[in-house]
Chains A and B, each alone.
Chain A
Amino acid sequence: MAGSESTPSAGARRRPREQFSGQTAFILAAVGSAIGLGNIWRFPGVAYENGGGAFMVPYLIALLTAGIPILFLDYAVGHRFRGAPPQAFRRISRGLESLGWFQIGICIVIALYYTAVIAWAVSYFFFSFNFAWGDDPTGFFVGEYLQVGEPGFSLDFVPGVLIPLVAVWVVTIVILGAGVAKGIERANVVFIPLLVVTFTVLVVRALFLDGAADGLNALFTPDWSALTDANVWIAAYGQIFFSLSIAFGIMITYSSFRPRRSNMTGPGLVVAFANSSFEILAGIGVFATLGFLAFNEGVAIDQLENLTGVGLSFMTFPAVISEMPGGQLFGALFFGTLVLAGLTSLLSILQVVSSGFQEKFGWSPRASAVGIGSVSAVISIVLLGSTTGLIYLDTTDNWANNIGIVGSAVLMTVLLMWVLRRGKELQYHLNTVSTFQLGSWWRFCVGILAPVLLTYMLASRIVTLISEGYEGYPTWYLVTVGWGSVAFMVVLAVVMPMVRRHESVDGFVPWPEYPPKPQPTSAVKEARR
């Protein structure tokens, strides 16, 4: 029965669509999703390496011309067509369901390793109290803690990672299983204010460290020559793009949990600016701290290593924490904020997967969360709880972001705007329900500018990965794990649309109607009252 669907029987019981309890809850959840590990450990280093203060110019342009427009595109799709990506896209066009499953595939791949980073941060939260990493944080992280082996697959489990990893999965499944309003929303309403307050305390503390001013000089002194370097612009668009959680289904799914008569673009602007505001705050905090490290070691900032990602958090920061007066508290706060920022993003990623399966098979939120969560947890524990976890993470992270998400964004913008030509309808939808009005500039950004830039990014990355490999890992490993992750997304995109849906999408009517009917004149409206 490939591609067939059952029609809903008359009087069949249907669950009402889950909803956030209000606009503020939606904003907090969306902010929780957008603010993730990338804001804390990616932005500061990227800004520093790409022109410092001058980076803010391409960064802001990228926010306004790609970040916010694609965020709105996600909102329009999810809010108008009411579903996680497979259902929302299928309601736009039957063939588009594949793209939805491709996005679900991205979320699955990311969730598997994202959990591990949160688990490490949980461990390091506790390690902060006695500086468990000793005098050699890098050696401790790679050797003693992760016990990293050669690239490959190993069943040599590392208990120190396994236990927090299981704990993170249990917490995640419990929150997801409680549903959108009682699970995700409540978690974000508590965690996001806590994250912002804690992180602000951390940043203020960092500003009073010796050498903090040198760190901020390094971050904010502009290098204008960077503006003529195409790679700097690509870095800015990449940062905005990965940081906002766009184009892989999260914002589509979250916006589908808003009632149809809800403002979308107004809250969207708050979400986008909140995400960037947190990034700036993180930049200040991280570079003030790095300034202290350089000061203490008597070197210049540009001689420091590991300024982004896993290296920054688990190698460089522990070194700073050990040298700092009151480092225990600083360390606990830093790793605590990583856990909060990561967990709220992880929840949103898994909600996409859970909702996708709920809508396809008619599962309840609890059944879907437990089912999807348990299977993912087992795979995640096998792949990341062993001695090869770090290498696996490093590889899939690169492919999921640079090939998966960028590819998904190219497909989404080109198919919606050019092949199916739904740009005007989506713009009309957002403008009708929202307070902030979009002009034709939005269609230009989403239909022309973004696809051109993203296609360039995708193509150049594919060429680099094929010609140069990645991080010196063996080719067989990159093919299996890196390209294999993308192959998994493609298989899901091909197979899942052929599986029978529990219910047809044929009866779905988008609202508001497009093209709009001529509105009754105000005189008629008056008469009706």
Chain B
Amino acid sequence: MTSTAVIFLIVTIVVVWGGLIASIVALRRRPEAEDLPEGGHDDDGVAPVVDSRES
């Protein structure tokens, strides 16, 4: 491969895959927003099915 093509391959991978890794890391550190306003527990007037995996 030519050096120009290699540089572009690497830059593309760093930016796009880096973006993926950064967004996953950010989400793992802070999966949900805190300090939500009150309410929003019910859906369409019925209690939603709450899954135990989700706090």
Complexed CA–CA distance, A515 and B8 (Å): 47
CB-based contact B20/A432 at 8 Å: no
Pick the residue among A22, A513, A516 that contacts B54 (CB under 8 A).
A22
Report chain A residues within 8 Å CB of B27.
23, 263, 266-267, 269-270, 435
Chain A, Cβ-Cβ closest to B8: A53
Residues B8 and A266 in contact, CB atoms below 8 Å apart:
no
Interchain CB contact under 8 A, B54 and A21: yes
Query: Considering only CB atoms and an 8 Å cut-off, how many residues of chain A contact the other chain?
Result: 47
How far, in whole Å, are A17 and B45 apart by their CA atoms in the complex? 10
Q: Give Cα A379 to B23, complex, Å.
A: 41
Given contacts A260-B43, A512-B36, whether A273 and B23 have CB atoms under 8 Å apart is yes
Given contacts A221-B4, A261-B41, A512-B40, contact A216 B51 (CB under 8 A): no
CB distance from A19 to the nearest CB of B (A): 6
Q: Give the chain B neighbours of A53 by CB distance below 8 A.
A: 4-5, 8-9, 12
Q: Encode contact with B along A369-397: 1 for CB under 8 Å, 0 otherwise.
A: 00000000000000000000000000000
Interface residue count on the B side (C-beta < 8 Å): 39
Partner of B51, one of A22, A507, A512: A22
Q: How far is the CA of A16 from the CA of B43 in the complex (A)?
A: 7
Q: Is the pair A519, B37 in contact by a Cβ cutoff of 8 Å?
A: yes
| B5 nearest CB across to chain A (Å) | 4
Known interface pairs A221-B2, A280-B17; A259-B54 also in contact (CB < 8 Å):
yes
Report A485-499 CB contacts with B as 1/0, cut-off 8 Å.
Answer: 000000000000000
Q: Beta-carbon contacts of B38-55 to A below 8 Å, as 1s and 0s?
A: 011101111111110110
The number of A-B residue pairs with CB atoms under 8 Å apart is 135
Contact between A263 and B32, CB atoms less than 8 A apart: yes
Residues of chain A with a CB closer than 8 A to B9's CB:
53, 216, 220, 284
Do B32 and A277 have beta carbons less than 8 Å apart?
no
With A16-B49, A17-B44, A277-B17 in contact, do A511 and B39 touch (Cβ < 8 Å)?
A: yes
Decide if A274 touches B20 in the complex (CB within 8 Å): yes
CA distance A94 to B30 in the complex (A): 37
Residue A529 CB within 8 A of the other chain: no
- The CA of A432 and the CA of B39, in the complex, are separated in Å by 12
With CB as the reference atom, state the residue of chain A lying closest to B32.
Answer: A263
* Residues of chain A in range 189-239 having any CB-CB distance to chain B below 8 Å: 213, 216-217, 219-222
Point out the residue from B8, B17, B23, B36 that lies within 8 Å of A56, measured CB to CB: B8
Partner of A221, one of B8, B33, B47: B8
Q: Which B residues touch A434, using CB under 8 A?
A: 33
Contact call A269/B40, Cβ cutoff below 8 A:
no
A220 near B31: Cβ-Cβ < 8 Å: no
- Residue A477 lies at the interface, judged by CB distance under 8 Å to chain B: no
Q: Which residues of B contact A507 (CB under 8 A)?
A: 45
Q: Which of B6, B8, B31, B39 has the most CB of A within 10 A?
A: B8
Residue A316 interfacial (CB < 8 Å): no
Chain A proximity of B26: nearest CB distance (Å): 7
CB of B29, distance to nearest CB on chain A (Å): 9
Chain A residues contacting B24 (CB-CB under 8 Å) are: 270
B52 to chain A, nearest CB (A): 9
| CB-defined contacts of A188 to chain B, threshold 8 Å | none
Chain B: CB-nearest residue to A431: B33
Closest B-chain residue to A47, C-beta based?
A: B12
A511 to B43, CA, bound (A): 10
Shortest beta-carbon distance, A436 to chain B, in Å? 7
Tell me whether A216 and B36 are in contact in the complex, defined as CB-CB below 8 angstroms, given that A22-B51, A277-B20, A280-B13 are known contacts: no
A213-B1 contact in complex given A16-B47, A280-B13, C-beta closer than 8 Å = yes
A517 (CB) vs chain B CBs: closest residue: B37
Which A residues are in CB contact (< 8 Å) with B40?
A: 260-261, 511-512
Which residues on the B side are within 8 Å of A219 (C-beta)?
Answer: 5
In the bound complex, do residue A216 and residue B1 qualify as a contact, i.e. CB atoms below 8 Å apart?
A: yes
CB-CB under 8 A for A221 and B20, given A262-B32, A435-B30: no
Residues from chain B with a CB closer than 8 A to the CB of A273 are 16-17, 19-20, 23
Could you tell me the distance in whole angstroms from the C-beta of B38 to the nearest C-beta in chain A? Answer: 9
On chain B, the residues within 8 Å of A267 by CB distance are 27
Question: In chain B, what residue has the closest Cβ to A270?
Answer: B23
A-B contact pairs, 25 of them (CB 8 A): A16-B47, A19-B48, A21-B51, A21-B54, A22-B53, A53-B4, A56-B8, A56-B11, A82-B44, A216-B5, A220-B9, A259-B50, A259-B54, A261-B36, A261-B40, A263-B31, A263-B33, A266-B30, A270-B24, A273-B23, A433-B33, A435-B30, A435-B33, A513-B37, A519-B37
B residues near A, CB below 8 A? 1-2, 4-6, 8-9, 11-13, 15-17, 19-20, 23-24, 26-27, 30-33, 36-37, 39-41, 43-51, 53-54
- Extra A-B contacts (11), CB below 8 Å, given A220-B6, A266-B26, A277-B16: A16-B43, A17-B43, A56-B12, A82-B43, A216-B5, A259-B50, A261-B36, A261-B40, A280-B16, A284-B9, A432-B33
3 closest cross-chain pairs (CB), A and B: A53-B8, A273-B20, A269-B23
